[in-house]
Amino acid sequence: MINVNGAALAYDDTGAGSPVVLVHAGIADRRMWREQIGPLAAHHRVVTLDLRGYGDSDLPTGTFAQHDDVAGLLDALGIERAALVGCSVGGAVAIDVALAHPHRVSALVLLGTTVSGHEWSDETNDLWEKVIGDVDAGDLDATAAADVRFWVVGPDRQPTDVDPALLDFAREMDRRTLAAEATADNFAMLRLDPPAIGRLGEIRVPVLVGAGAADVPDISRLADQIAAEVPVATRLPDVPDAGHLLPLERPASVNDALLTFLASAN
């Protein structure tokens, strides 16, 4: 644990070399990078963290910003600049760090990423209604199961198409986050203002962006938009038969892409 902006954040720090910080998805915690740490740490200093309110980190209190927490972690660890790798919400946080603290970021890898300020399309909302329907927000098991069914499995696959151990792990991570959210109160999370969705052209570092072909269509479209608007961006082909948590579901493909890109970006 390390104190960052008044909160204790859990992290792991492995390997040596140019720094890489891995930022987890909103339905996960730092354990989702378990397949990346070893391969990356053979060449890089690899830091994984639990964002505030996730995993082993403190529950949020007061006013805070996730992108400032990531920059604060770099300060606390004595890291001047790092490549940021983010999945889903973690990708949105990574983008926000690159915009709010551009001198701290050397490169971005964005996997199944969202973008601050993006509004989900009617198609995505309709898909949720079709695939999931109504869920009792007070039933944490049901909510976690719904999140994993929609995001990890994806709207066009069936749960039997995905490794059951992966689904169990994803549900456990998400339920832990939901339980923490249910007990957190009296806090305000500050958003990047103006948000990233209209500012992608301001990013001046190399960016690698990819998505799973079985993810919701908005995610692939966001990847296309990032690749089109960021001046130095590489768009990976959508990974076949993969959903929202690419690093867990397709670790070999992700690791190969990460190592190749980071070697060229540093």
Strand partners, 63: 188
Residue-level pLDDT at 4: 84
Q: Kindly compute the dihedral angle of the four CA atoms of residues 4, 5, 8, 10, in this order, to the nearest 10 degrees.
A: -40
Please tell me the predicted confidence (pLDDT) of residue 22: 98
The whole-angstrom separation of Cα 169 and Cα 164 is 9
pLDDT of residue 2: 87
Backbone angles phi, psi at 47, to 5 degrees: -115, 125
pLDDT at 7 over 90: no
Q: Compare 188 and 205 and report the one with higher pLDDT.
A: 205
> What number is the average pLDDT over the span 116-125?
93
Task: Give the CATH architecture of domain 2-118+186-265.
Answer: 3-Layer(aba) Sandwich (3.40)
Percent of the chain whose pLDDT exceeds 90:
83
* Least confident piece of the model among 113-117, 134-138, 140-144, 176-180: 134-138
219-222 contact pairs (CB < 8 A, 24+): 219/112, 219/113, 219/114, 219/244, 222/113, 222/114, 222/115, 222/118
pLDDT of residue 34: 96
126-144 average pLDDT score: 89
pLDDT at 58: 87
List the chain domain ranges. 2-118+186-265, 122-183
State the pLDDT at residue 185: 72
8 A C-beta contact, residue 87 and residue 246? yes
pLDDT tens, position by position, 210-244:
999 999 999 999 999 999 999 999 999 999 999 99
Q: What is the mean pLDDT of the chain?
A: 93
Per-residue model confidence (pLDDT) at position 166: 96
User: What pLDDT is stored for residue 72 in this prediction?
Assistant: 95
pTM of the model: 0.95
